[in-house]
Amino acid sequence: MWFMGFSKANCQNCYACVRACPVHAIKVKNEQAQIIKERCIVCGRCFKVCPQNAKSIKSEKEMVKHYLRGRQKVVASVAPSFAAILGEHSNKLPTALKLLGFDYVEEAISTVHPIIEEYEKYANKPGDDTYITSFCPSVNNIIQKYYPDLAKNIIPVVSPSTFNGRVLKNKYGKETRVVFIGPCLGKKNDGHNEESIDLVLTFEELEKWLKEENIELKDLKEEPFSCSSKQLRLLPTIGGLTNSIEAKNPRKSIIRVDGIKDCMQVLDVVKKGQFKNTLIEMSSCRHSCIGGSGMPEDGVNCYERRENLKKYAKSCCENSDKKDEIVENEFLNIAFDKEFLSKEVLLNQPNSEQLREILNNMGKYEKSDELNCKSCGYHTCREKGIAVYNNMAEINMCLPFMREKAEDLSNVIFDMTPNIIAIIDKELDFVQLNPSAEQFFKTSRQNIKGIPVEMFLEEEDFKKVKDTKKNIFKQRKSIKQNDATIIQSIIWLEKNQVILWIADDITKNEELQEKLQKMKIDAIDMAQKVINKQMTVAQEIASLLGETTAETKVTLTQLKNLILEDEVSM
């Protein structure tokens, strides 16, 4: 079962998680970060650095509640780092867990003695072999997946939580449900690979659950755990595991390492064979388990947590060692061995031609183009190219390339647009002109830089926009100096603290409009003259037509009378 990922709604394509992941177990697909579970070592660093808190963890709290409602017994196995976050209220945790419904509450370190004794055996083994502790699941993952040749160096015993689960199953019955509660996301993955642990909750999940149920530790009665030794209670801190071993004069030198980067540096050295006759205590989290990936984000730093743990350890009862010994003897025959096998994860390797094509697509044509800036999360551009080849990364993750591409596009628009554009600073001095503006003002951008805007334009409009932050759009303005008419927009850019001036020169349009207007007036005058002339001609024609019509009438009348007279005489 896989339980962690990133929320699609919150992921902002910042690549912080990619940069933080020490093993490149995060791919970006369709501008969305995704965890590659086969490569993931479950260190939780990606979640800690995410500025949008986009982590999405599948909690098993509801399944725990389901178990608590059932007929089977449910026991809580609590990691010793609980005291680091609870401080003075540490002894009230068992009461709180029983209020949630747990039948039994046990400490995981109550059965840790057999494992530490096995570590002591390896610490006292003769020879030059180097051994690595197996407490931290993320360290085990990184060795098995990325240093598989060193898997044989891991001491072949289970983690204390797994062994405690086996003990609890034996003590309360195989059907009993064991819920481990601890500081580590890695335990979620580790626990599901072991039959002795049924479910895993982090302290962060437990804290939220207690708040949901309105359970306040300060209001509860104390019900202390069975006391363990002061030394065992410091197991969650750096050196907590090996301090007691070192005090017994082991044959091997002891190295304590915390933090993934430091762990990987030491593993690189071990791989080269430079460390010999050494026992290495490793923890993937800085400050070991008190800085675990499953700790609540309560604003308490690791130094405060360490002090809380030390105070609680000091307050433990004096006869704790005897009680621990009784528990150990009671379950001495339970197996704690484990074989750590290789889980090596290999990437497909592009040939030189394929890699060159990918690099070219990222704008890397020459060796000098390969900046190796690490902004994408990969150490080199070629490493990023291999990730692209394996569908783990996208071309546009190269920030210098995308910036250059965006700037090129912006410059093309700025230089090629027919609009007149100028950038003016808050002192109302020119900063930059585009070519159209250079042509309009009949000057160059170099010569106009730093020149007050009032030398070319009316300052009042610019001052008003800067002071009021109210932009002016499509304002018609006459520029006397250029004998021009423009339509201007004046825009205040708050983030950049500059003014953007955009204008269209409509002088020619104005002249054309005046010419067209004159032509219209001339046409009207000409039409009027033609009309007047036509009226005169019409009147003259009408007069002539009137005279000829009268004459015609007289003539026809006379002709008619003559014809009538001829008919009568006949």
Q: Distance between CA atoms of 365 and 356, rounded to whole angstroms?
A: 8
Q: Distance between CA atoms of 501 and 494, rounded to whole angstroms?
A: 14
437: Cβ contacts below 8 Å, ≥ 6 apart: 420, 421, 422, 445
Residue 559 sits at the vertex; the CA angle it makes with 554 and 560, to the nearest 5 degrees, is: 100
Cα dihedral angle (479, 481, 482, 488), rounded to 10 degrees? -30
Containing 472, the helix (H) or strand (E) segment is: strand 472-479
pLDDT in tens, the chain (570 residues): 677 888 876 787 788 899 999 999 999 888 888 999 999 999 999 988 888 887 788 889 999 999 999 989 999 999 999 999 999 999 999 999 999 999 999 999 988 888 999 999 999 999 999 999 999 999 999 999 999 999 999 999 999 999 999 999 999 999 999 999 999 999 988 877 788 999 999 999 999 999 999 999 999 999 888 766 777 888 999 998 898 888 887 889 999 999 999 999 999 999 999 999 999 999 999 999 999 999 998 888 999 999 999 999 888 755 454 444 445 555 668 888 999 999 998 999 999 999 999 999 888 889 888 888 888 889 899 999 999 999 998 888 887 776 666 666 567 777 778 889 999 999 999 988 988 988 898 898 888 889 999 989 989 999 999 999 999 999 998 888 778 889 999 999 888 899 999 999 888 876 666 666 677 666 666 767 766 777 776 676 666 666 666 666 666 666 666 666 665 555
Name the residue among 13, 40, 26, 41 with its Cα closest to residue 387: 26
Amino acid letter, residue 348 = N
At the topology level of CATH, where does 418-505 sit?
Beta-Lactamase (3.30.450)
* 59-330: CATH, from 3.40.50.1780, 3.90.79.10, 3.40.50.12280, 1.20.1070.10: 3.40.50.1780
Residue 314 CA, distance from chain mean position: 42
How confident is the model at residue 150, as a pLDDT? 97
297: Cβ contacts below 8 Å, ≥ 6 apart: 204
Q: Taking the CB of residue 56, how many other CB atoms lie within 10 A of it?
A: 15
Q: Distance between CA atoms of 222 and 315, rounded to whole angstroms?
A: 14
How confident is the model at residue 244, as a pLDDT? 83
Tokens 């003075």 belong to residue: 88
Long-range CB pairs of 424-431 (<8 Å, 24+ gap) are: 424/453, 424/462, 424/498, 424/499, 424/500, 424/501, 425/497, 425/498, 425/499, 426/466, 426/497, 426/498, 426/499, 428/452, 428/453, 428/454, 428/459, 428/462, 428/463, 428/466, 428/499, 429/453, 430/456, 431/498
3-state secondary structure of 505: strand
| Backbone CA torsion sign across 432, 434, 437, 443 | positive
How confident is the model at residue 74, as a pLDDT? 97
Architecture of domain 1-58: 2-Layer Sandwich (3.30)
3-state secondary structure of 341: coil
* CA gyration radius, the chain: 44
Distance from the first to the final alpha carbon of the chain: 140
How confident is the model at residue 227, as a pLDDT? 60
Contact 499, 465 (CB under 8 A): yes
Contact 6, 33 (CB under 8 A): yes
How confident is the model at residue 146, as a pLDDT? 96
Q: Distance between CA atoms of 180 and 294, rounded to whole angstroms?
A: 12
Structure tokens at 213: 């149920």
167: Cβ contacts below 8 Å, ≥ 6 apart: 111, 331, 334
DSSP state of 54: -
Angle, helices 352-361 vs 381-389, to 10°: value is 100
Please tell me the total number of residues recorded for the chain in this structure.
570
- Work out the widest C-alpha separation in the chain, in whole angstroms: 177
How confident is the model at residue 495, as a pLDDT? 82
How confident is the model at residue 491, as a pLDDT? 93
